[in-house]
Amino acid sequence: MTFYSPVITNAAEVAGSDKLHLFRYVEDANQTKIETYESHGGYGTWRKVLTTKKPDDVIAEVKASGLRGRGGAGFPTGMKWGFIPKDSPKPRYLVCNADESEPGTCKDRVIMERDPHAMIEGMAIAAYAIGCHLMFVYIRGEFGHCIETVDKALQEAYAKGHLGKNVYGSGYDLDMIVHSGGGAYICGEETALLNSLEGEKGMSRIRPPFPAIEGLYACPTIVNNVETLTTVRHIMERGAQWYRTMGTEKSPGSKIFSVSGHVKRPGNYEVELGFSLKKLIYDPQYGNGILGDKKLKGVIPGGASTPFLTPDQINVGLDFESMTSVGSMLGSGAVIVFHEDTCIVWAILKLIHFFRHESCGKCTPCREGTGWLEQIIRRIEHGGGKPGDIEKIEDICGNILGRTICPLGDAAVMPIQSAVKHWRDEWQYHIDHGKCLVPTRFEFV
Amino acid sequence: MILNKESVALMQKKASQYPRRKSGILPALTIAYRQVGHLNDQIYREIAKAINVPYVEVAEAATFYTMFPKQPTGKYLIQVCHNISCALLGADSLVEYLEQKLGIKKGETTKDNLFTLISVECLGSCATAPMMQINMDYYENLTRAKVDKILEELRAKA
Ligand SMILES: Cc1cc2nc3c(=O)[nH]c(=O)nc-3n(C[C@H](O)[C@H](O)[C@H](O)COP(=O)(O)O)c2cc1C
Ligand code: SF4
Ligand code: FES
């Protein structure tokens, strides 16, 4: 039995629900074995799709489901697949994005560690839909155990004839390669990922051309997140109509949220989109309230690159449109909770250090700007803040936002802008007094 | 030769699966790292030869990826996540605790060459924080007691 994370999930709730589906079997230690997976109908959907449906039917079904990408941007999946040119003589590729490096995010890991065949089955269906015969999963290199588990599942799938030549006698060939990354957050950005997969440095590409037209090896390529592709398997099993009974009109379905930071019960929870953020943080079934019963200070709802929400903003649904309406984003669904003892300057220093470290350096605003921001914020945190620093931070942020090759630049500044807006007094205090307004000393016990 | 036969064979097998051999560079670096524990120029040359790609391409890729140490480390490379979710649950204090237990500062290696301590960015264990990775293994939901036990076991194994 390969190692897997001890993270808490709501598998029991999901198993008792007739709608939630991603986490149904994740507490079953045998689920990684193909026999167990097949005994729950596993690979039956792939077989049905391959032997009875046309690729266009699959795209139409996924479009009808309203599924939106779970990697961060929420782009409609079926629509993306539709961008693959129908007449291109080149091979097409599917790449499953398992780089999972956005701070706060630890959900794709659970699928790979505990239900890897569901991901492979979803990938196979997506590959068929776009006419791909060689698909890849790009797993971050640190996830050695995930790589092992997925590799093993892959061998089993080949041995049972779910992958390989002439799958199910249909005449369709499908191969899969597990690729391990090198520990760079930027390689989660789809064009940097493709460069990395080609053996280049993981630097983003200028778009257009978009990957669907010219991606891997300059061929039409679709990049989708692990959770997105796993969901495809369930949509093709039970239909778009069923999928739409969950979530909201514009954000149908369910999604995994990684809850971390100052909650009593951190974990990964699958809930319907539109689920209350407040409930996810406070309900005993999920986050179970704030550590030490302290007061909530703020929440980052969608991973380290999304703007902060304040306690008066958490009575909101976790879906793409509601998050936008309160000035943040659903992102990767990584809910990071901060209690009252957290100094905002300290927290932002952690974040900007990350983005500066992970900037690929290709464009000036991001490469230089993140460096300046870190310097200024570090100075403030260590008591050397100067009058005008806040304005300088705002100015630099303004000069990065919207002016970079890839979205990492925006990702770096959005949480900072929100933190300055929500807690301006605290930044000012830090500059005036050379120290934090709140204690911020988190002991590990 | 630094790379052993198994590593070379594995690299070649992996590289041959891709439509272009160059894609085999990153997997080859990973295989080399797992065997040797770090990477260097000599290793890049051996990889280039093993999978038949230009040396500069291997070296260029290697320098970009921070996961591979470019110098020898202690037998056990301890990497503590210092990113936000872990920091909220005491990652900085975990680093200090390890510094104290090992008698070294972050970035250093113990005299017996057993442990190197560094801190790194998010490792995707945010809901099981604080955490650390030692060589390829993850250790999550850490407490002082757990850290004591882990170090003890590693020492006994060494
Ligand atoms: C800096 C950066 C890092 C990213 N990291 C990831 C990642 O780790 N995993 C992921 O699925 N998407 C990541 N993305 C989003 C991808 O670029 C891409 O939009 C996504 O994989 C598409 O899949 P989806 O449509 O299924 O969401 C990242 C984007 C940026 C800008
Ligand atoms: S925004 Fe940053 S990470 Fe993206 S291409 Fe520019 S320098 Fe690289
Ligand atoms: S923040 Fe430490 S593992 Fe993600």
Distance CA A342, CA B87 (A): 10
Among candidates A347, A365, A348, A367, which has minimal Cα distance to A357? Answer: A367
Region A12-38: what's the mean pLDDT? 96
The SS3 of residue A76 is strand
Ligand 3: lining residues by beta carbon, under 6 Å? A 103; B 81, 83-86, 122-126, 129, 131
Residue A326 confidence (pLDDT)? 97
Identity of the residue numbered A341: D
Q: What's the average model confidence in pLDDT over A291-315?
A: 97
The alpha-helical segments, DSSP class H, found in A204-319 are 226-238, 240-243, 277-282
Going from the Cα of B45 to the center of ligand 3, the distance in angstroms, rounded, reads 34
Nearest residue, CB atoms, A103 vs list B92, B122, B143 = B122
pTM exceeds cut of 0.90:
yes
pLDDT category, A444, cuts 50, 70, 90?
A: confident
**pLDDT tens-digit series, residues B40-84:** 999 999 999 999 999 999 999 999 998 999 999 999 999 999 999
Report d(CA B82, CA B4) in Å as an integer.
34
Mention every residue, 6+ apart, whose C-beta is less than 8 A from residue A334: A102, A103, A104, A105, A106, A107, A257, A258, A260, A300, A302, A303, A304, B126
Does B146 lie at the interface with A, CB-CB under 8 angstroms?
no
CA–CA gap between residue B22 and residue A197 (Å, rounded) = 9
Domains observed in chain A: 31-245 (3.40.50.11540), 248-339 (3.10.20.600), 344-433 (1.20.1440.230)
| Closest to A100 (Cα-Cα) out of A62, A64, A70 | A70
- Which pLDDT score, from 0 to 100, does residue A58 have? 98
Return the residue of A nearest to B66 by Cα: A183
On the question of a cis peptide bond just before residue A116, with omega within 30 degrees of 0, the verdict is: no
As a whole number, mean pLDDT of residues B5-22 equals 97
Task: Consult the annotation and say whether B17 binds a ligand.
Answer: no
Q: What is the largest CA-CA distance in chain B?
A: 50
Protein residue whose Cα sits closest to atom 13 of ligand 1: A188
With bands split at pLDDT 50, 70 and 90, how would you rate the model's confidence at A441?
Answer: confident
Distance, in Å, from the CA atom of A259 to the CA atom of A338, rounded to the nearest integer, reads: 11
pLDDT at B133: 97
- Distance from Cα A353 to the centre of ligand 3, integer Å: 14
> Do residues A318 and A275 lie in contact, with contact meaning Cβ atoms separated by under 8 Å?
yes
User: In sequence order, which residues have a C-beta less than 8 Å from that of residue A292 and are 6 or more positions away?
Assistant: A339
Cβ atoms of residues A143 and A100 within 8 Å: yes
Mutate to test the interface with B, among A8, A92, A105, A106 (most CBs of B within 10 A): A106
- The pLDDT of residue A191: 97
B122 is in an annotated binding site: yes
SS3 A290: strand
pLDDT number for residue A3? 84
Q: Tell me how far apart the alpha carbons of residues A424 and A404 are, in angstroms, rounded to a whole number.
A: 26
Dist CA A347 CA A442 (whole Å) = 12
Say how many residues make up chain B. Answer: 158
Ligand 2, residue A409: give the atom nearest the CA: 1
pLDDT tens for A113-126 read: 999 999 999 999 99
Radius of gyration, CA atoms only, chain B: 17
Residue of B nearest to A106 (CA): B124
- Say if ligand 2 is within 6 A of residue A362 CB: yes
Closest by CA position to A257, among listed A309, A301, A317: A301
Q: In what order do the strands lie in the sheet with A296-300?
A: A267-272, A254-261, A334-339, A296-300
Sign of CA dihedral A302, A306, A310, A315: negative
Interface of A with B in 210-229 (CB under 8 A): 217
Q: What is the pLDDT of residue B123?
A: 97
pLDDT of residue A177: 98
- Element at B78 (helix H, strand E): strand B76-81
Amino acid letter for position A362: K
Q: Is B100 annotated as a binding residue?
A: no
Domains and CATH numbers, chain B: 5-64 (1.10.10), 76-157 (3.40.30.10)
CB A308 within 8 A of CB A339: no
Ligand nearest to C-alpha A194: 1
**Are A169 and A149 a contacting pair, CB within 8 Å?**
no
Q: Does B87 belong to an annotated binding site?
A: no
Evaluate if residue A275 carries a pLDDT over 70: yes
Do residues A104 and A127 touch, judged by C-beta distance below 8 A? no
Closest ligand 1 atom, residue A227 Cα: 26
Query: Model confidence at A172, in pLDDT bands (50, 70, 90)?
Result: very high
At residue A146, the pLDDT reads: 96
Of the candidates A238, A234, A281, A233, the one whose C-alpha atom is nearest the C-alpha of residue A257 is A281
For tokens 């782009």, name the residue: A75
| pLDDT score of A243 | 98
Mean pLDDT across A177-204: 96
**Phi/psi at A88 (5° precision):** -70, 135
Instruction: Report how far Cα A284 is from the mean position of its chain's Cα atoms.
Output: 25
Distance CA B15, CA A90 (A): 21
Ligand 1 interacting residues, C-beta cut-off 6 A: A 69-73, 75, 97, 99-102, 185-186, 188-190, 223-225, 228, 406-408, 411
Model confidence over B94-150: pLDDT tens digits? 999 999 999 999 999 999 999 999 999 999 999 999 999 999 999 999 999 999 999
- The pLDDT of A291-320, averaged and rounded, is 97
Strand partners, B115: B76
Rounded to the nearest 10°, the torsion over CA A252, A253, A257, A263 is 90
Which one-letter DSSP state was computed for residue A83? T
- Concatenating the DSSP letter of every residue in A296-359 gives EEEEE-SSTTS--B-GGG-SSEESHHHHHHTT---TT-EEEEEETT--HHHHHHHHHHHHHHH-
- Per residue in A239-252, pLDDT (tens digit) is 999 999 999 999 99
pLDDT for res A438: 87
Phi first, then psi: what are they for A167, rounded to 5°? -60, 130
Q: What is the pLDDT of residues A376-408, one digit of tens each?
A: 999 999 999 999 999 999 999 999 999 999 999
Q: Do B90 and A445 touch (CB under 8 A)?
A: yes
User: Average pLDDT, whole number, for chain A?
Assistant: 96
Q: What is the pLDDT of residues A54-105, one digit of tens each?
A: 999 999 999 999 999 999 999 999 999 999 999 999 999 999 999 999 999 9
CB atoms within 10 A of CB B99: 14
Q: Is the ipTM here above 0.95?
A: yes
Q: Which of A270-274, A325-329, A440-444, B67-71 has the lowest mean pLDDT?
A: A440-444
Residue ID of nearest Cα to ligand 2 atom 8: A360
pLDDT of A1 strictly over 80: no
Bond before B19 cis per omega within 30 degrees? no
Pairwise CA distance, residues A259 & A248, whole Å? 21
Q: Please state the φ and ψ torsions of residue A337, each to the nearest 5 degrees.
A: -105, 130
CA distance B113 to chain A (A): 23
Q: Do B121 and A354 touch (CB under 8 A)?
A: yes
Residue B61: list chain A partners with CB under 8 A.
182, 199-201
